[in-house]
Amino acid sequence: MFKRYHNGDYIDSPKSYYHKNSTNHFHIELIECIHPCTIINGSRIIMLNQYDIVLSRNFRHLKIINGPNRNCIYHFGTDIVYPEPLNDYMIGNSPIIHDLMNEQVHTLTYITFNHLDDLICHHYLMNIRIFNAKLNEPIIEFQNQRLWGLLFTELLRHYESKISKFDSDFPSSNIKHASKISKSGSIMSYIRQHNGNVTLNSVATHFKYEPAYFSRLCNNLFETNFSGIRTEIRMEAASDMLQLTAKNIDEISAEVGYKNTSSFIKQFTQNCGITPLNFRKKYHK
């Protein structure tokens, strides 16, 4: 599957692809950003730079905004065949893909890859696009599967520096046996979904941990305490709202969990080096 989208379009997988898994196949999709744009799904915001890639089981009703009036997103989909050497490429190298493939929830989850400026992944995708028109030929299907395998091995090379935990929505609350990066990503996704307006106890309860253990886990995963990662996510959420909404500073302050606006302004200025008002002016000239 291959489709193009431009500003104002909605990205939707064909319904025939929803949960299209069997004992022999696993369906997976990705979108590649061709021109910088923003994608929204409800309250979720993904800000993409050129050549960023978002990986998911299925994409549902994502709207493209702030993009050029020309093709800015390419959408690819494929069925991974079992048993296949390709599966070894994906799972052997990739605990994060393993976790995504074995996730049982039916809501939108996705992993965003950035820092792909060497264009290796882009060139693999352009070759996959060429093969897409000829997939009725068995030898082309064989080559296509190998290209997808090469693409995933490249995405997963040094993947910890390529995966954007802020712009990803990792799978579930059942993370005790997940990989380290899935654990950290799922925790960040949950805090991000609540704009940082959470407590250590509430997040620990959601993930079925004792608060004291969860506090130590955060230090191990993030090399900072829970308060530090929550503040980082609050500032990221506030930055998105300042850029993409008309909400006033008081509203944003409350949404990210600050009881008074002056504390929020002080924290934002300290973290971002600019006041919230001046930050907004910078993006709305």
DSSP string spanning 52-91? Answer: -EEEES---SEEEES--SSEEEEEEEEEEESS-HHHIIII
Does one domain contain both 146 and 210? no
Q: Element (H or E) spanning 20, and its range?
A: none
Q: Mean pLDDT per 10-residue run, the chain (285 residues)?
A: 91 65 71 93 84 88 88 89 52 55 62 91 92 77 84 82 80 71 85 88 93 94 92 91 89 92 95 92 74
How many residues in the chain? 285
**Are the beta carbons of 234 and 242 closer than 8 angstroms?**
no
CATH number at residue 215: 1.10.10.60
Answer whether residue 156 is part of any domain. Answer: yes
Answer whether residue 189 is part of any domain. Answer: no
**Are the beta carbons of 222 and 207 closer than 8 angstroms?**
no
Q: DSSP 3-state assignment of 44?
A: strand
Answer whether residue 179 is part of any domain. Answer: no
pLDDT of residue 86: 45
pLDDT digits (tens, 9 = 90+) for 164-203: 877 787 766 677 777 787 788 889 888 888 888 899 999 9
Q: How far apart are CA 142 and CA 14, in angstroms?
A: 23
Does one domain contain both 203 and 138? no
Domain stop point among 165, 182, 205: 165
Nearest to 184 by CA among 214, 154, 139, 148: 214
CATH number at residue 145: 2.60.120
Q: How far apart are CA 128 and CA 126, in angstroms?
A: 5
Does one domain contain both 110 and 13? yes
Answer whether residue 160 is part of any domain. Answer: yes
- The answer to whether the pTM exceeds 0.85 is no
Does one domain contain both 17 and 151? yes
In the numeric block, which tokens belong to residue 18? 């929803």
How many domains is the chain partitioned into structurally?
2
Nearest to 4 by CA among 58, 49, 69, 56: 69
Distance of CA 138 to the CA centre of its chain: 33
In the numeric block, which tokens belong to residue 98? 């393993």
- For residue 69, the enclosing domain spans 2-165
